[in-house]
């Protein structure tokens, strides 16, 4: 639904030249809605002029493109239009290339109020490229090009230097884009356009390049460091981690494939691990830690004991956890603060089940998001855990994909979860009833790759849907789609 104000604004923007001429006469309270409508409808001429003459110190995508009182559409949940993003960047460039007015004209010009352009929070869905929209990689490249061009071109008109604008962005970098982005960060130092990174994701980047990039980032801005597919090992991580630890406001650290290097003596590996732990103790504000696919068997106590504050999000997928790791976590200060927990890929079916249940009990009051993909949980383990799981009354998301559960087990889960009023999403496996000739217990690889009987599964889906309707929970999504990006980011919880 749209309000009358929204519909009127949309009508005003139909003629873009006239709308641009009218901007100086409009009350500044209309600018936020003008921006959203222009961004939504790709009114690029108006959008560029809005940025050029923005009357507030802050222009924030997160504030302007969310659901609002006038329009329920949340543009941040969609990939941004290439045309609209380019118009914003062109408006910023025009502002920087326009000389400052003299003192006598200053009250008549509103564009000089802008100090911060916050472009963070754009959807990063990782799907195939759509030529009409921008991925996070495209956004990074577009902003980087603007920084380099600004430094190389300077002001196009004589007069005093423009007032600097801080541009806050989430940056994505890989081997192909590293040199380009490094040049952009260097160019922004001392430039009217100051690039400020909030979240950094580096993929498949050599150790020396990762360090060089970290050295160029503003320590006061960085919120998250995410190093993916770098396969650093302990030796590489011991080189990088002190450069990460200088970011005292870092709230999220995502590392993967942290393990010993078989090519070096084990004593060196132990020294590197101790050094890594010492550096981890330097973080004051860390709230999320992801150590996916890292060999942490029997070492979780060493890792978590070094942290200064309790974590709220902990991802330990495929970390080969032992019962003592789970027992330590259940008894640690972290358990009572956890909002998000990912134990995917850890076998919880044997001696790990009881410690896992203890951890679930310890975190029941705060847990919002629980991911248990490929944990070898069959009906027996699930039914034994249900009394504790249903005490997680604030739980919003439950991931159980890749576990050998039957239709009977899923129905029991659905019935018992009626007590979880906040539950919105359950990602469940294809029931073992829908496979033909499964070995028992079935390995996760078989569940993920074997064919299912589509007719049987259609009946399963229909029955689950009827049970949801009968219990008044049609709003709860039960799905087997693990690629639908239903899992929430920690900062959105």
Where a domain ends, among 96, 122, 147?
Answer: 96
pLDDT at 233: 79
229 and 92 within one domain: no
216 and 83 within one domain: no
pLDDT at 447: 87
Q: Please indicate, yes or no, whether the overall pTM of this predicted structure exceeds 0.95.
A: no
Say whether the peptide bond before residue 441 is cis (omega within 30 degrees of 0): yes
pLDDT at 321: 97
pLDDT at 99: 61
Residue 173 lies in a domain: no
419 and 283 within one domain: yes
Where a domain ends, among 41, 73, 96?
Answer: 96
Residue 166 lies in a domain: no
Residue 493 lies in a domain: no
| Full residue range of the structural domain in which residue 60 is found | 4-96
pLDDT at 107: 41
224 and 85 within one domain: no
pLDDT at 275: 94
pLDDT at 123: 79
pLDDT at 105: 43
Q: What are the tens digits of pLDDT across the range 179-204?
A: 989 999 998 888 888 999 999 999 99
CA distance 87 to 107: 26
pLDDT at 148: 83
Beta bridge partner(s), residue 253: 225, 289
Backbone angles phi, psi at 96, to 5 degrees: -70, -25
User: Block means of pLDDT (10 residues each) for the chain, length 493 residues?
Assistant: 90 95 93 96 96 95 93 89 92 80 46 85 68 80 83 60 86 91 90 92 92 94 91 85 95 84 60 93 96 92 96 97 98 98 96 98 98 96 98 97 96 96 96 89 85 94 96 95 81 92
Residue 132 lies in a domain: no
Residue 247 lies in a domain: yes
Residue 144 lies in a domain: no
Nearest one of 26, 35, 15 to 80, comparing CA atoms: 35
Q: What percent of the chain has pLDDT over 90?
A: 69
**444: domain CATH number?**
3.80.10.10
pLDDT at 256: 84
Where a domain ends, among 96, 130, 165?
Answer: 96
Torsion of CA 485, 487, 489, 493, to 10 degrees: 130
430 and 299 within one domain: yes
Per-residue tokens: 154: 């300077």
Please give the tally of structural domains in the chain. 2
Residue 179 lies in a domain: no
Residue 104 lies in a domain: no
């Amino acid at each position: 639904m749209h309000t009358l104000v929204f519909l009127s604004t949309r009508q005003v923007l139909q003629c873009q030249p006239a709308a641009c001429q009218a901007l100086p006469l409009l009350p500044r309270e209309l600018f936020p809605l003008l921006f959203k409508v222009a961004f939504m409808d790709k009114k690029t001429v108006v959008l560029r002029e809005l940025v050029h003459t923005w009357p507030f110190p802050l222009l924030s995508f997160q504030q302007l493109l969310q659901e609002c009182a006038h329009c329920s559409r949340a543009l941040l949940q969609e990939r941004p239009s290439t045309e609209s993003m380019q118009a914003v960047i062109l408006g910023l460039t025009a502002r920087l290339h326009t000389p400052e007015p003299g003192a006598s004209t200053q009250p008549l010009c509103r564009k000089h109020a802008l100090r911060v352009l916050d472009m963070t929070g754009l959807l990063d869905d990782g799907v195939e490229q759509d030529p009409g929209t921008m991925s996070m990689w495209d956004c990074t490249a577009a902003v980087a090009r603007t920084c380099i061009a600004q430094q190389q071109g300077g002001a196009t008109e004589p007069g005093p230097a423009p007032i600097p604008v801080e541009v806050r962005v989430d940056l994505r970098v890989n081997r192909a884009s590293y040199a380009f982005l490094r040049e952009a960060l260097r160019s922004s130092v001392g430039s009217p356009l100051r690039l400020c990174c909030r979240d950094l994701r580096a993929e498949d980047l050599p150790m020396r390049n990762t360090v060089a990039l970290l050295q160029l980032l503003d320590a006061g801005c960085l919120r998250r460091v995410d190093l993916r597919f770098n396969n650093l090992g302990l030796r590489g991580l011991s080189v990088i981690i002190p450069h990460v630890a200088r970011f005292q406001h870092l709230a999220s650290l995502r590392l993967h494939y942290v393990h010993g290097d078989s090519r070096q003596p084990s004593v060196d590996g132990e020294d590197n691990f101790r050094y890594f732990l010492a550096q981890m103790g330097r973080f004051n504000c860390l709230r999320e830690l992801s150590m996916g696919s890292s060999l942490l068997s029997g070492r979780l106590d060493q890792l978590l004991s070094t942290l200064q504050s309790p974590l709220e999000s902990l991802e330990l997928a495929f970390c080969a956890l032992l019962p003592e790791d789970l027992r330590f976590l259940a008894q640690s200060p972290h358990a009572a603060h956890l909002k998000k927990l990912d134990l995917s890929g850890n076998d919880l079916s044997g001696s790990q089940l009881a410690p896992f249940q203890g951890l679930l009990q310890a975190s029941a009051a705060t847990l919002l998001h629980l991911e248990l993909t490929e944990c070898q949980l069959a009906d027996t383990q699930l039914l034994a855990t249900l009394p504790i799981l249903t005490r997680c009354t604030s739980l919003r998301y439950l991931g159980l994909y890749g576990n050998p559960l039957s239709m009977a087990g899923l129905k029991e889960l659905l019935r018992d979860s009626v007590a979880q009023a906040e539950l919105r999403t359950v990602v469940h496996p294809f029931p073992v009833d829908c496979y033909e000739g499964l070995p028992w217990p079935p390995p996760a690889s078989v569940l993920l790759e074997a064919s299912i009987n589509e007719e049987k599964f259609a009946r399963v889906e229909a029955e689950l849907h009827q049970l949801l309707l009968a219990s008044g929970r049609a709003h709860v999504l039960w799905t087997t789609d693990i690629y639908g990006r239903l899992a929430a980011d920690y900062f959105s919880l």
